[in-house]
Chains A and B, each alone.
Chain A
Amino acid sequence: MSVESHEGVHRHPAPTSFIRKYIFSVDHKVIGIQYIILALVAVLVGMTMSLLMRLNLSWPPPHSWPILETLFPTGAPGGVMTPEFYLSLVTMHGTIMVFFVLTTAPQGGFGNYFLPIQIGAEDMAFPTLNMLSFWVTLVGFIVILLAIFAEGNQSVGQWFAALGPSFAGGSGTVGPIGGWTGYAPLSALGKIAGPGQGAGMNLWVISIAIFCVGSLLGALNFITTLLNMRTKGMSLMRMPLTCWAWFTTAVLALLSFPVLLGGGILLLLDRIAGTSFFIPSGLYVSGLLSGTNPNFPLHTGGSPILWQHLFWFFGHPEVYIAILPGMGATSHILSTFARKPVFGYRAMVFAIFAIGLLGFFVWGHHMFISGMSPYSAIAFSVLTLSIGVPSAVKTFNWLGTLWGARIRFTTAMLFALGFVSLFVAGGITGLILGQSSLDLAMHDTYIVTAHFHLVMGVASIFGMFAALYFWFPKMFGRFMNEKIGKLHFWLTFIGVYAIFVPMHIMGIVGMPRRYASFGEYEFLRTLHPLVLLVSVAAIITITAQLIFYFNLIWSVFKGEKAGDNPWEATTLEWTTATPPPHDNFAGVLPTVYHGPYEFAVPGAPKDYVMQTEAEADVPSGNGHNGHKH
């Protein structure tokens, strides 16, 4: 009988074997690190792809890269990339970056590691489910890697063809060519739609579906843990903003991934079971009319726009899934190194929620050029622009936090400041692109590429860099090297602006995105120096990341040793040992008496008050709201 009572939640003994400790671990901290490692591997793949794209754009055919021919004999015959090969790079770069980097590291990585500690729990609510969530996600990643080989390699392609005609691969690409959005009807037709659309597309859909399941398992764990496992005294409004961000992100994932999963199931049925959910009547593709050829059976009644609706209903919340944890980390780190409470804590919480909520009603702004009714477009426009309000609240509060502060310029702080800069710089074009009339002209140009890379790509990554430099001492007991870190920051910060600012200009001139080369267009030839500049900046920035990888690995083993609270921060993760023990608090859960950002409290003995410091030790502070009492 007593055995049954343990069935409840948590409390698992510390594992002893290597496999249970580091591989199939149920410890949220190990799982968090596993997610971060997954992201660090995935980002290398994604970055290599962007490098190849830049090479092709700045040294276009007939320039030849002999190494490409060695690697991809059919994708780059004679060392010259085929346009299809380029498009598959675009697709896989986007897919891998969005799903396996921007969704895994911020939420699965740092969220897993620090959410339970910051709320004073000994683990997630369902540790086994947590482990499952990581391994399912890893399977998704392996499947997307298979797509590269199934299309890129003839013999692997033939092996996949044995699974059925729709799995034929080996077309000389590195995956499907439909973009990370997998737009129907081409994505729904199978191999007649062109190179990469056989095995590559099937594996793409399967990978995404698997990823959805993994993310859902993670999300439900986050939500239950946060709602039910906060320690004594940790009321909702005493949680660090990071926890609010991870929680909101989990809610977004919970409500948006099932929609993509449903859409993905239907897309897969269209591809392998011959249904027509996303395939319209009378479709003419690759010189064939639907129903006139055994390879292209009759399809009726489907709607390709429907896929766009389902995809973007997921896709827009997804960009907030990527960036909200970065916002949380930035708020947390700015306050710590400004030695000031977060300005307007409550407003920050509501802004996070408002951004999350509004994120569900703006998916149409990705579809202004799909032929939607102008009335819907106006509604989507207005809702989109209204996201500017909570975004501005956050920005002003960040600036308010910094106002009059004696800032400690650590690498983590620099990256947090970089986040604010990139969020503003990238977000400002959102106000332009969010207006349907302007978007009609600009949608398929480089300005969109520039916009979303700055705001959801690079800004999120900066949030993660800030988080890593900040929490690294807690995770590994050593600091990352600050000198190399600052070099990494400045190279990356200047680098990304050098890459993406020129892209805005290209977009306004009218350079279309996703094109493999521009040689045929007279008016774009004058832009070639800019294209070259972007590529050189990209190569330098990517090289700077190798410095980061070196610093990371070197610091794990050789970094300067860190104490329990090296940054003089206030939240619960800094009250426990470094690195935290298996159950986080060595058997005694902390009790919380303070808000999360009580810096510079008048009359307090130090310039910060830990959340766990009891009343007797400290005079009543000015709270974390910045209110005067």
Chain B
Amino acid sequence: MGPGGGFPGPNGKKPGGNGWKGGDRSKPKFSPVAYRITMGVVLAAVVMMFAALSVVYIMSSPEDRPVAMPRMFFVSTVLILSSSWTFQKAKRCLQQERRRAHTRWLLATLVLGLGFLVSQLVGWRELTRGGVYFRDHPKSTFFYVVTALHGAHLIGGIGLVLYLLLRSRRLILAELHSTWTSIVGMYWHTMDGIWLWLFLLLLVVR
């Protein structure tokens, strides 16, 4: 019997099915897998865009006077790394059904995210003070463009965390909320990872 060609079905053998791995369940109304797949797909697209931009940075000719990494960007790195940590804390508190603590850690994540954005803006000021301007050279421009694009994506992440925060204050369906928490986590950690990658790229490739 060729794969897929047989007749399982009502006689108790497993038919193929829905979901990532297949199975024999009927289609559920609410499907956490759908959310996770979608977020994974969105993030794949985002990662591809940053990969393309990184190639632009690597391939543009080196500058005579390499841009010094703004000190503020080190602070950014610490902030965003800790925000991932606080988010994980929030997630764990949700699993332990500690609602208050969950909300508090989400709030901490939000504040750290905003702090990251501020540190990026301060980093820009540091760059211009150091004589690195937007129009200078592709490698200088890249500092601004890539941080702006990453920042824009992080603003989206902040919006998502804010959404979680607002929901967490209401009486909510546990499964839905935990699904949202897990996909926002996927997004947030990926933004963290992208920043780490960009930071190392700007630090190492001159």
A residues adjacent to B (C-beta < 8 A): 1, 4-9, 11, 121, 125-126, 216, 219-220, 223-224, 227-238, 254-259, 261-263, 265-266, 269, 273-277, 297, 300-303, 306, 309-310, 313, 345-346, 589, 591-595, 598, 614-615, 618, 620-625, 627, 629
- Please name the 5 residue pairs, one residue from A and one from B, whose CB atoms are nearest each other, closest first: A235-B16, A623-B5, A8-B30, A623-B2, A237-B4
Most B CB within 10 A of own CB, among A8, A265, A273, A309: A8
User: Which residues of B, 1-39, contact A by the 8 Å Cβ criterion?
Assistant: 1-11, 15-20, 22, 24-27, 29-31, 33-34, 37-38
Which of B45-53, B75-83, B197-205 lies at the interface with chain A? B45-53
Give the distance in Å from the alpha carbon of A219 to the alpha carbon of B145 in the complex.
Answer: 26
How would you classify the secondary structure of chain B's contact residues: helix, strand, loop or mixed?
Answer: loop
B residues adjacent to A (C-beta < 8 A): 1-11, 15-20, 22, 24-27, 29-31, 33-34, 37-38, 41-42, 44-46, 48-53, 55-56, 59-61, 63, 134-139, 141, 145, 149, 171-173, 176
Contact A228 B19 (CB under 8 A): yes
Question: Closest residue of chain B to A276, judged by CB?
Answer: B138
From known contacts A8-B30, A237-B16, A302-B138, infer whether A1 and B49 are also in contact, taking CB-CB under 8 Å.
Answer: no
Chain A residues near B10 (CB, 8 Å)?
614-615
Give the distance in Å from the alpha carbon of A387 to the alpha carbon of B65 in the complex.
Answer: 44
Contact B17 A235 (CB under 8 A): yes
Q: Separation in Å of the A334 CB from the closest CB of chain B?
A: 19
Question: Closest residue of chain A to B20, judged by CB?
Answer: A227
Give the distance in Å from the alpha carbon of A265 to the alpha carbon of B33 in the complex.
Answer: 33
Give the distance in Å from the alpha carbon of A229 to the alpha carbon of B22 in the complex.
Answer: 10
Contact A4 B173 (CB under 8 A): yes
Give the distance in Å from the alpha carbon of A254 to the alpha carbon of B59 in the complex.
Answer: 24
Question: Closest residue of chain B to A623, judged by CB?
Answer: B5
Contact A301 B1 (CB under 8 A): no
29 contacts between A and B (CB under 8 A): A8-B176, A126-B38, A231-B27, A232-B25, A232-B26, A234-B16, A234-B18, A235-B4, A236-B16, A237-B16, A265-B145, A297-B135, A301-B60, A301-B137, A302-B60, A303-B61, A306-B59, A309-B55, A313-B52, A346-B2, A591-B15, A595-B5, A598-B5, A614-B9, A615-B10, A615-B11, A620-B6, A620-B7, A627-B5
Contact A238 B176 (CB under 8 A): no
Among B2, B24, B60, B63, the residue within 8 A (CB) of A277 is B60
Contact B41 A261 (CB under 8 A): no
Chain A residues near B6 (CB, 8 Å)?
620, 623
Q: Separation in Å of the B204 CB from the closest CB of chain A?
A: 19
From known contacts A230-B18, A259-B48, infer whether A589 and B27 are also in contact, taking CB-CB under 8 Å.
Answer: yes
Chain B residues near A593 (CB, 8 Å)?
7-9, 15
Question: Closest residue of chain B to A260, judged by CB?
Answer: B52
Q: Separation in Å of the A214 CB from the closest CB of chain B?
A: 13
Contact B27 A257 (CB under 8 A): no
Give the distance in Å from the alpha carbon of A581 to the alpha carbon of B24 in the complex.
Answer: 26
Q: Separation in Å of the A158 CB from the closest CB of chain B?
A: 28
Chain A residues near B22 (CB, 8 Å)?
235-236
Contact A238 B4 (CB under 8 A): yes
Chain A residues near B11 (CB, 8 Å)?
615
Contact A277 B138 (CB under 8 A): yes
Give the distance in Å from the alpha carbon of A238 to the alpha carbon of B59 in the complex.
Answer: 45
Contact A594 B5 (CB under 8 A): yes
Q: Separation in Å of the A560 CB from the closest CB of chain B?
A: 35
Chain A residues near B173 (CB, 8 Å)?
1, 4-5
From known contacts A593-B9, A620-B7, infer whether A228 and B46 are also in contact, taking CB-CB under 8 Å.
Answer: no
Chain A residues near B51 (CB, 8 Å)?
259
Chain A residues near B24 (CB, 8 Å)?
232
Among B16, B27, B61, B135, the residue within 8 A (CB) of A275 is B135
Contact B135 A273 (CB under 8 A): yes
From known contacts A223-B37, A233-B17, infer whether A624 and B5 are also in contact, taking CB-CB under 8 Å.
Answer: yes
Q: Separation in Å of the B160 CB from the closest CB of chain A?
A: 15
Q: Separation in Å of the B201 CB from the closest CB of chain A?
A: 14
Most A CB within 10 A of own CB, among B3, B4, B15, B139: B4
Among B16, B25, B38, B50, the residue within 8 A (CB) of A220 is B38
Contact A300 B137 (CB under 8 A): yes
From known contacts A4-B172, A238-B4, A306-B60, infer whether A258 and B52 are also in contact, taking CB-CB under 8 Å.
Answer: yes
Chain B residues near A622 (CB, 8 Å)?
5
Contact B4 A591 (CB under 8 A): no
From known contacts A220-B38, A275-B141, A301-B63, infer whether A262 and B52 are also in contact, taking CB-CB under 8 Å.
Answer: yes
Contact B15 A592 (CB under 8 A): yes
Question: Closest residue of chain A to B54, judged by CB?
Answer: A262
Contact B30 A269 (CB under 8 A): no
Chain A residues near B19 (CB, 8 Å)?
227-228
Chain A residues near B41 (CB, 8 Å)?
219-220, 223-224, 254
Give the distance in Å from the alpha carbon of A614 to the alpha carbon of B37 in the complex.
Answer: 31
From known contacts A220-B38, A220-B41, A589-B27, infer whether A303 and B17 are also in contact, taking CB-CB under 8 Å.
Answer: no
Chain B residues near A227 (CB, 8 Å)?
19-20, 33, 37
Give the distance in Å from the alpha carbon of A233 to the alpha carbon of B19 in the complex.
Answer: 11
Contact B139 A301 (CB under 8 A): yes
Question: Closest residue of chain B to A255, judged by CB?
Answer: B48
Contact B15 A232 (CB under 8 A): yes
Contact B45 A255 (CB under 8 A): yes
Give the distance in Å from the alpha carbon of A204 to the alpha carbon of B135 in the complex.
Answer: 23
Q: Separation in Å of the B20 CB from the closest CB of chain A?
A: 6
Most B CB within 10 A of own CB, among A126, A233, A593, A614: A233
From known contacts A227-B37, A269-B145, infer whether A5 and B137 are also in contact, taking CB-CB under 8 Å.
Answer: no
Chain A residues near B3 (CB, 8 Å)?
237, 346, 625
Q: Separation in Å of the B126 CB from the closest CB of chain A?
A: 20
Give the distance in Å from the alpha carbon of A623 to the alpha carbon of B33 in the complex.
Answer: 30
